[in-house]
């Protein structure tokens, strides 16, 4: 997507620059043959644009391998952008290195998918929560203790004294995820990246974790990038949502618009595939997109979804890459179906 963010930025740039700006971001991984010869690139993220305001939540949806993890890791500063830039809080990632890069990273909270794997098993909760503070120069022991106490109370992990000496394996999955959230929040970041924060939890604790995240977002005026493949949990959260396919954004809209009136055939298919707990649906046969996500080394020409698309138009979709069409205010779709001339006149 190349020119989609004019409209969004116009509305969000009320008070200066947005908190996070993704500009034409490419993240490519080089493939090597026999350990040294060049054998092409994996185009995990291929030209992504969007921006995020202070206090705003945005959801990123897509199936496995669509590049959402690479996008997330690049925003966190763990990956290096191949092309394009990430500008967070007036810091450009492409020019940041060394200690500044570490500072950049520490300003973004990171909530991972697997809470048990995300916590070092040999550290107790107190040490786990102290680590970010120590690394980022909070040398006063009393201050560290008070910040740990405050954040644990915010994620409702009380009584604090009982939790602190415990090791991760002594906590339940929900409690572990609260520790992960507390650790992500302890540096008081302005942006929180949540990578499927509830997908590995029991259904019974999912809502509670989502509520904690929502509450933190409101009380800290926190911007949240919520990454998921599960459309049933996004409603809780975000104002905006975008759908990724094969390293590109295919649809961008307000939450309700996208969920109630999906435009892109792929979004349609995703919504079809997500479960809807209604007894009437038990016998309904659903149309699931055939095939698999395409290779990111040699993506299909034209629209990347065309080999699987039910509305495939030969000679257009497989030739020309679709630009973003604005179907309604702040609802952008990259699909030739929404061109007035169905792509013929372009």
Partner 1 sequence: MKGILSSLRQLRQYPTAVIGMIIIGLLLVVSIITPIIMPYSEAIRLWRGGELVWRYYPRNAAPAWQNWFTSTDLAASVIIDSSKGDIEPTFEQISADTREGFYSYEFDFPYDTFPPEVILFAAAKYASKQPFVELTWITPDGREIRAGEFSATANTSVRFDQDTRLQRRLERETGIKGITVIEGLFDDPSKEGIQVLQGTYRLDATALLFEPESTLDMTFVSYGKVHGLAGTDHQRRDLTVALLWGTPIAMAFGLLAAVFTTVTTMSIAAFGVWTGGWVDGTIQRITEVNAIIPLLPILIMVGTLYSRSIWLMLGLVIVLSIFGLQIKNYRAIFLQVKESPYIDAARAYGAGSNRIIFRYLIPRVLPLIIPAIVILVPGFVFLEASLAVLGLGDPVLPTWGKLINDANTQGALFNGYYYWILLPSALLMIAGLAFAMVGFALDRIFNPRLREV
Binding of residue 88 to partner 1 (CB under 8 A): no
Toward partner 1, which CB reaches closer, 53 or 130?
Answer: 130
In the stretch 59-78, what mask flags binding to partner 1 with x, by CB under 8 A?
A: --------------x--xxx
Toward partner 1, which CB reaches closer, 220 or 320?
Answer: 220
Binding of residue 308 to partner 1 (CB under 8 A): no
In the stretch 125-154, what mask flags binding to partner 1 with x, by CB under 8 A?
A: ------xx--xx------------------
CB of 107 to partner 1, least distance (A): 9
Binding of residue 117 to partner 1 (CB under 8 A): yes
Q: What is the 3-state secondary structure (H, E, C) of the chain?
A: CCCCCHHHHHHHHHHCCCCEEEEEEEEEEEEEECCCEEEEEEEEEEEEEEEECCCCEEEEECCCCCCHHHHHHHHCCCCCCCEEEEEECCEEHHHCCHHHHHHHHHCEEEECCCHHHHCCCCCCHHHHHHHHHHHCCCCCHHHHHHHHHHHHHHCCCCCHHHHCCCCHHHCCHHHHHHHHHHHHHCCCCCEEEEECCCCCCCHHHHHHHHHHHHHHHHHCCCEEEEEECCHHHHCCCCCEEEEEECCEEEEEEEHHHHHHCCCCHHHHHHHHHCCCCCHHHHHCCCCCCCCCCCCCCCCCCCCCCHHHCCCCCCCCCCCCCCCCEEEECCEEECCHHHCCCCCCCC
In the stretch 179-198, what mask flags binding to partner 1 with x, by CB under 8 A?
A: -x--x---x-----------
Binding of residue 114 to partner 1 (CB under 8 A): yes
Toward partner 1, which CB reaches closer, 104 or 266?
Answer: 104
CB of 270 to partner 1, least distance (A): 26
The binding site for partner 1 (CB under 8 A) comprises 73, 76-78, 102-103, 105-106, 108, 110, 112-114, 117-123, 131-132, 135-136, 180, 183, 187
């Amino acid at each position: 997507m190349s020119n989609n963010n004019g409209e969004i930025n116009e509305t969000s740039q009320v008070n200066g620059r947005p908190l996070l700006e993704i500009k034409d971001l490419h993240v490519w991984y080089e493939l090597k043959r026999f350990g040294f010869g060049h054998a092409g690139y994996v185009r995990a993220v291929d030209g992504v644009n969007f921006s995020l305001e202070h206090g705003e939540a945005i959801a990123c949806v897509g199936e496995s391998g669509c590049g959402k993890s690479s996008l997330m890791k690049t925003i966190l500063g763990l990956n290096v952008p191949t092309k394009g830039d990430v500008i967070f809080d007036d810091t450009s990632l492409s020019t940041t290195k060394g200690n500044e890069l570490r500072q950049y990273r520490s300003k973004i909270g990171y909530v991972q998918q697997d809470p048990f794997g995300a916590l070092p098993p040999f550290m107790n909760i107190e040490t786990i929560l102290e680590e970010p503070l120590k690394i980022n120069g909070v040398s006063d022991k009393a201050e560290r203790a008070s910040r740990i106490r405050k954040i644990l109370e915010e994620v409702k992990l009380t009584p604090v004294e009982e939790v602190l000496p415990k090791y991760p394996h002594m906590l339940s999955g929900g409690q572990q995820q609260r520790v992960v959230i507390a650790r992500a929040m302890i540096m008081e970041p302005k942006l929180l990246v949540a990578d499927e924060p509830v997908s590995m939890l029991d259904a019974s604790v999912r809502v509670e974790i989502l509520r904690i995240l929502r509450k933190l977002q409101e009380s800290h005026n926190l911007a949240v990038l919520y990454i998921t493949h599960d459309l049933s949990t996004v409603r809780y959260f975000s104002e905006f949502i975008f759908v990724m396919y094969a390293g590109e954004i295919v649809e961008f809209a307000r939450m309700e618009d996208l969920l109630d009136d999906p435009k892109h055939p792929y979004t349609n298919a995703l919504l079809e595939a997500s479960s809807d707990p209604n007894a009437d649906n038990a016998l309904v046969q659903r149309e699931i997109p055939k095939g698999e996500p395409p290779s990111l080394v040699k993506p299909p020409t034209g629209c990347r979804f065309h080999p699987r698309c039910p509305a495939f138009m030969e000679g257009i979709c497989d030739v020309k890459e679709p630009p973003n069409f604005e179907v309604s205010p702040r609802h952008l779709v990259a699909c030739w179906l929404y061109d007035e001339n169905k792509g013929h006149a372009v």
